[in-house]
């Protein structure tokens, strides 16, 4: 099904500072800091609501610390880098002091698998080790572990996370239901919970929960959430009533297990204020479990900075009555989804372009630039002729990155491959493509943002008549089989289907409201248009939604022109090995295929295929 959204880029409002009138329009390929936005950006629609207790929230940053640097919208909305964010936090902390209110900074996990800063390290390096150093420079009050921290276990990676990153946030890096085995002993990666006092004297009890993840590597364990809340340590952690339960975790705030945790706390403390900060599904989302709580999820890839405020009562002195009216009435919460760019940051801090940067923020930006040079992220493979998107263009089409990859696979996987003369069908899952590919220079960093997973390719020798049925069968599984497959993939950490559903719903609402005709929509730029279950408008900056087209779960190369009994190579990414073998056995009965029949096809990894193609075709 096709959904349309306004392509309204003209006439966008300029930033709140006159300094931005000098915005550069040319495309700068280097990963250097931009003093000014590269496009005209719409400023926020209104100031933030400050209350007695306030929180800045990040989640699912996945290495996006240098900001989004492409000129095609919506990318300029997210052009602020982590140095800009650090300066923003500094100014916001100062505002909190002046207002004499509490302000915390929290993160809900998944710090890597997304860009070259976290994943583009030279041979012998460790995923996210260098990029995490910049996270360590920010004054996070609470952090929770994500599933991407658990996909690969090896001595150096574990040692650096467990012995370097976690201790930098003593007691504040939380892994309530995640253990790691070191020297034969299973222990929490971080702390199961923490209790601390804010600047204004509020007692906080915080947990850090991971969803029921099953894709973790050996020597790590993830306890189901329903079992976690039955543990004696959990009962002890929540026994004493704080001023606020701050529940932070890598788990969606809707359609997941936060109610299990919430209800366990509510069973002991029926009216204590609760704030929940979730993650993982990559969407902007909010709900209120009851009148004295709010749950917020703040997107992905540093495309969103979350804000929550609550008009909490003063800290307990020990003399309050539990049944007092103040302890039972509804609490006023607000939430906001900020576009992370300098226009947003300057607007909310009251700074101009010359006063916004702090020396600390500048040093972080400089360090990120140096890391990009160290990792050679500007290594140029070629120049993309136009934008290739995941769901903004129909599949198949010339503007679809899925169509591009279907064409890329037969070329890139057969370079220097002894099986180049064998006819083949090549299949991968569309969820392995994590980002759009934009027009212009296509470099090492772009290669990793579009396809960050270093999956390998395997093959089976199969008669063409059977092999040709596998891709349609994968995409046309029955309702029950499809639900089982989606549940399996979700448990292993696959989130793209949930994100696409959110984007599809966004475009559907716009289609119903505006009809199929593309219009200027008030000169709004493209971006997120969020509808959630919390009161008021959540988006800080108004946008028009992106176009959306359905895409298949699996894509494949064109079938060869051979007879049905010709034995061909059925090539596939290792992530879908078990599903593909099951489908293959369902479409034919001549042979029962098992994993013992599977062989490696090439040394080329999924992260490399676009670079190989670009070097040959885009120069």
Unique residue bearing structure tokens 């990676």: 157
Percentage of the chain lying above the pLDDT 90 cut: 80
- Beta strands of 138-214 (E only): which ranges? 142-144, 173-174, 178-182, 185-188, 193-197, 203-210
Q: Please give the pLDDT value at position 170.
A: 95
Q: Which domains does the chain have, with CATH numbers?
A: 2-9+50-374 (3.60.21.10), 380-617 (3.90.780.10)
Rounded to whole angstroms, the Cα distance separating 499 from 577 reads 23
Ranges 227-241, 307-321, 533-547: which has the least confidence: 307-321
> Can you tell me the mean pLDDT for 171-188?
94
Contact predicate 205/197, CB 8 Å: no
Name which of 403, 399, 366 is nearest 385 in CA terms. Answer: 399
Query: Alpha helices, DSSP H only, in 384-478?
Result: 401-412, 444-450, 464-475
Please say if the pLDDT value at position 380 is more than 60: yes
Task: Enumerate the β-bridge partners of residue 104.
Answer: 55
Query: Alpha helices, DSSP H only, in 451-495?
Result: 464-475, 479-491
Token pair belonging to 56: 């800045």
Rounded to whole angstroms, the Cα distance separating 435 from 438 reads 9
Residue 579: strand, helix, or coil: helix
Integer angstrom CA distances of residue 437 from 177, 210, 390, 557, 589: 36, 31, 8, 19, 41
Q: Please give the pLDDT value at position 486.
A: 81
Q: What is the pLDDT of residues 114-155, one digit of tens each?
A: 999 999 999 888 889 999 999 999 999 999 999 999 988 876
Please say if the pLDDT value at position 104 is more than 60: yes
The gap between the terminal CA atoms of the chain, to the nearest Å, is 35
Q: Please give the pLDDT value at position 522.
A: 61
Please say if the pLDDT value at position 318 is more than 70: no
Residue 129: strand, helix, or coil: coil
Mean pLDDT of the chain: 91
Q: Please give the pLDDT value at position 26.
A: 36
Q: What is the pLDDT of residues 418-459, one digit of tens each?
A: 999 999 999 999 989 999 999 999 999 999 999 998 899 999
Q: Please give the pLDDT value at position 491.
A: 92
Query: Alpha helices, DSSP H only, in 293-398?
Result: 342-349, 359-374
Q: Please give the pLDDT value at position 326.
A: 66
Q: Please give the pLDDT value at position 35.
A: 53
Cis peptide before 36 (omega within 30 of 0): no
Name which of 293, 297, 250 is nearest 274 in CA terms. Answer: 293
Q: Beta strand pairing status for 102-107 and 185-188?
A: unpaired
> Can you tell me the mean pLDDT for 487-504?
91
Rounded to whole angstroms, the Cα distance separating 339 from 35 reads 17
- Residue 381 phi, psi dihedral angles, 5° rounding: -90, -35
Structure-model confidence comparison of residues 5 and 109, the more confident one:
109
Q: What is the DSSP letter of 589?
A: -
Rounded to whole angstroms, the Cα distance separating 492 from 476 reads 21
Q: Beta strand pairing status for 244-250 and 274-278?
A: parallel
Please say if the pLDDT value at position 406 is more than 80: yes
Please say if the pLDDT value at position 498 is more than 80: yes
For 25, other C-beta atoms within 10 Å of its C-beta total 8
Name which of 439, 437, 343, 283 is nearest 80 in CA terms. Answer: 343
Band of the pLDDT at 519, cuts 50, 70, 90?
very low
Cis peptide before 74 (omega within 30 of 0): yes
Contacts of 318 (CB under 8 A, 6+ apart): none
Ranges 6-10, 98-102, 240-244, 338-342: which has the least confidence: 6-10
Residue 12: strand, helix, or coil: coil
Token pair belonging to 258: 């936060």
Residue 103: strand, helix, or coil: strand
Name which of 445, 351, 339, 298 is nearest 76 in CA terms. Answer: 339
Q: Is 537 exposed, middle or buried (0-12, 13-18, 19+ CB in 10 A)?
A: middle
Rounded to whole angstroms, the Cα distance separating 309 from 336 reads 9
Q: Beta strand pairing status for 305-310 and 333-338?
A: antiparallel
């Amino acid at each position: 099904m096709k959904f349309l959204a306004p392509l309204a880029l003209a006439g966008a409002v300029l930033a709140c500072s006159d300094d931005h009138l000098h915005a550069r329009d040319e495309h700068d390929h280097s990963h250097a800091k931009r003093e000014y936005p590269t496009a005209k950006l719409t400023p926020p629609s209104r100031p933030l609501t400050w209350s007695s207790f306030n929180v800045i929230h990040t989640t699912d940053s996945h290495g996006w610390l240098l900001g989004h640097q492409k000129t095609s919208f919506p990318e300029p909305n997210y052009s602020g880098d982590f140095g800009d964010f650090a300066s923003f936090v500094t100014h916001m902390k100062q505002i909190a002091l002046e207002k004499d209110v509490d302000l915390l900074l929290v993160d809900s996990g998944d710090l890597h698998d997304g860009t070259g800063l976290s994943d583009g390290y030279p041979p012998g390096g460790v995923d996210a080790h260098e990029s995490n150093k910049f996270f360590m420079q920010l004054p996070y009050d609470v952090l929770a572990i994500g599933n991407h921290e658990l996909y690969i276990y090896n001595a150096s990676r574990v040692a650096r996370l467990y012995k370097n990153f976690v201790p930098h946030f003593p007691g504040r890096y939380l892994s309530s239901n995640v253990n790691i085995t070191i020297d034969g002993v299973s222990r929490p990666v971080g702390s199961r919970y923490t209790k601390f006092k804010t600047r204004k004297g509020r007692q906080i009890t915080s947990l850090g929960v991971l969803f029921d993840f099953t894709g973790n590597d050996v020597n790590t364990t993830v306890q189901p959430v329903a079992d976690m809340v039955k543990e004696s340590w959990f009962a002890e952690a929540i026994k004493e009533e704080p001023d606020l339960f701050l529940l932070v975790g890598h788990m969606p705030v809707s359609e997941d297990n936060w109610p299990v945790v919430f209800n366990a706390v509510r069973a002991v403390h029926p009216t204590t204020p609760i704030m929940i900060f979730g993650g993982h599904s990559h969407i902007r989302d909010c709900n209120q479990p009851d009148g004295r709580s709010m749950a917020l999820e703040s997107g992905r890839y540093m495309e969103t900075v979350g804000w929550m405020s609550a008009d909490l009562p003063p800290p307990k002195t020990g003399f309050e009555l539990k049944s007092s009216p103040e302890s039972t009435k509804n609490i006023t919460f607000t939430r906001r989804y900020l576009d992370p760019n300098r226009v947003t940051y300057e607007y909310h801090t009251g700074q101009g372009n010359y006063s916004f940067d702090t020396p600390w923020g500048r040093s972080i930006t400089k360090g990120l630039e140096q890391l990009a040079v160290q990792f050679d992220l500007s290594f140029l493979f070629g120049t993309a002729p136009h934008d290739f998107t995941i769901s903004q263009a129909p599949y198949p089409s010339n503007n679809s990155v899925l169509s591009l990859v279907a064409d890329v696979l037969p070329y890139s996987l057969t370079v220097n491959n002894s099986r180049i003369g064998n006819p083949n069908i090549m299949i991968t899952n569309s969820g392995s493509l994590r980002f759009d590919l934009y027009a212009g220079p296509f470099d090492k960093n772009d290669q990793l943002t579009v396809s960050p997973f270093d999956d390998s390719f395997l093959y089976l020798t199969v008669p063409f008549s059977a092999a040709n049925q596998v891709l349609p069968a994968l995409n046309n599984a029955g309702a029950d089989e499809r639900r089982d497959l989606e549940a399996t993939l979700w448990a292993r950490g696959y989130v793209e289907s949930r994100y696409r559903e959110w984007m599809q719903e966004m475009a559907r609402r716009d289609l119903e409201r505006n009809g199929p005709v593309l219009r200027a929509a008030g000169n709004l730029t493209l971006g997120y248009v969020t509808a959630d279950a919390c009161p008021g408008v959540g988006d800080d900056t108004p946008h028009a939604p992106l176009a959306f087209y359905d895409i298949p779960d699996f894509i494949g190369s064109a079938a060869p022109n051979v007879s049905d009994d010709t034995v061909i190579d059925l090539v596939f990414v290792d992530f879908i090995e078990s599903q593909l073998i099951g489908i293959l056995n369902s479409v034919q009965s001549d042979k029962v295929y098992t994993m013992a029949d599977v062989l490696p096809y090439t040394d080329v990894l999924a992260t490399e295929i676009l670079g190989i193609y670009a070097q040959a075709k885009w120069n």
